[in-house]
Amino acid sequence: MKKINDKLLSWASLLEENTEQQARTTARMPFVFPHLALMPDAHLGLGATVGSVIPTLGAVMPAAVGVDIGCGMIAVRTQFSAADLPTDLQPLREQIERAVPLSAGASNRKVVATAAPRIAELETMAEAAGFDPAGAHGGWRGQLGTLGSGNHFIEVSLDEEDRVWLFLHSGSRGVGNKIAQRHIAVAKRLMQRWWIELADPDLAYLVEGTPEFERYIAELRWAQHFALLNREEMMDRVVRQLSEVLGTAVDEQERINCHHNFTQRETHWGKSVWVSRKGAIQAAAGQPGLIPGSMGTASYVVEGLGNKPSLESSPHGAGRLYSRSAARRTFTHDELRAAMVGIEYRDTDAFLDEIPAAYKPIDQVMADATDLVRVRHTLRQVVNVKGD
């Protein structure tokens, strides 16, 4: 850990200058207490740095959570081993791709049986919170159980004992994005109304006790729960596909579901603060968590160490080194194929911006996180599913 200044601590051995400057700017916000913690995977984000943990007193910055509210990971350890898997994994990949709608804007054609009670739960929660999610995204019900694109993925992986794990990464889809964008815009308008000038307009904030703050928190909590249930719904479908391919019901040995873009109340240094983790997971002592690598690299099942200076947090993944456009200019389809040797995936240059070389080395990220988490399992992919 490096103390950059009294308001900024960093666990990132690989830290670009513009990323550090962005974090310095955020850490100077007067309500940040006691300090901002940069995770090993930190990289430049919109407003707040991706891979940052931001505790605040009496205010929340919507951009410090970002537009994919509640984005996170879910993993299931099955009773199967590598020997139980078929030699040809393409049919399993294709069945998963048929069961889970992929790509940006994807939606289910109908509400399936497992999704119906989850949608009902979300409808009840929204009614209690006093808002209609359809006002943000009219098709939100159809997107429960859909993956999205970018770095979202579904994987079948093996651990160090060759046990089969199911692993996926997704968030609150279109409805979470619309909710976030709306409240970021509200915060910016309030800054203008109050004549508050910020070093970065995307650090616009909402003040606790105001109607705007209360409305954001209510809708944020709903979107976080949507994201959690979205992952549960997708995982249930992936479990079914594996069961069908192997002809045996999956016996779930363990299921872990965690956010890495979220805000919640916590107590640190004797004060009740809002902790916004943008690209970071909570890592309280003994708390299970998931840290994925990039496409084609290892992922990790971890246990939190309760590190106090980090506000009991850890990284959420590898962290980008190249922007998507820069990655597409820099790397080739042949290089992507070479990185994915031995992994069943849809071979297309649509995933070129997700090539492992566009990300920080996950081994270095995990080395930087040794005082934040303990690694319980190291996973290697055998099937990778992504949306264009």
**216 touches 183 (CB < 8 A):** yes
pLDDT of residue 1: 94
Q: Write down the residue that tokens 């962290």 correspond to.
A: 319
**220 touches 69 (CB < 8 A):** yes
Q: Report the alpha-carbon distance of residue 39 to residue 53 in Å, rounded.
A: 8
Q: Which two tokens stand for residue 316?
A: 């959420």
Which of 39-48, 161-170, 245-254, 261-270 has the lowest average pLDDT? Answer: 39-48
Task: State the total domains in the chain.
Answer: 1
Domain of 313, in residue numbers: 2-386
Q: Report the alpha-carbon distance of residue 287 to residue 277 in Å, rounded.
A: 16
Q: Which two tokens stand for residue 217?
A: 């928190």
SS (H, E, C) 260-303: CEEEEEEEECCEEEEEEEECEEECCCCCEEEECCCCCCCEEEEE
- 208-232 confidence digits (pLDDT tens): 999 999 999 999 999 999 999 999 9
- 277-324 confidence digits (pLDDT tens): 999 999 999 999 999 998 889 999 999 999 999 999 999 998 888 989
CATH label of the domain that carries residue 147: 3.90.1860.10
Backbone angles phi, psi at 276, to 5 degrees: -100, 120
- 76-135 confidence digits (pLDDT tens): 999 999 999 999 999 999 999 999 999 888 899 888 889 999 999 999 999 999 999 999
Q: Which two tokens stand for residue 384?
A: 């990778």
What residues are paired with 254 via a beta bridge? 77
Query: What is the mean pLDDT of the segment spanning 332-348?
Result: 93
Contacts for 205 with CB less than 8 Å, ≥ 6 apart: 29, 31, 56, 59, 60, 61, 62, 187, 191
- Number of C-beta neighbours around residue 208 at 10 A: 15
Catalytic residues, by residue number, are 316
pTM score over 0.85:
yes
Average pLDDT of the residues of the chain: 96
**333 burial class (0-12, 13-18, 19+ CB within 10 angstroms)?**
middle
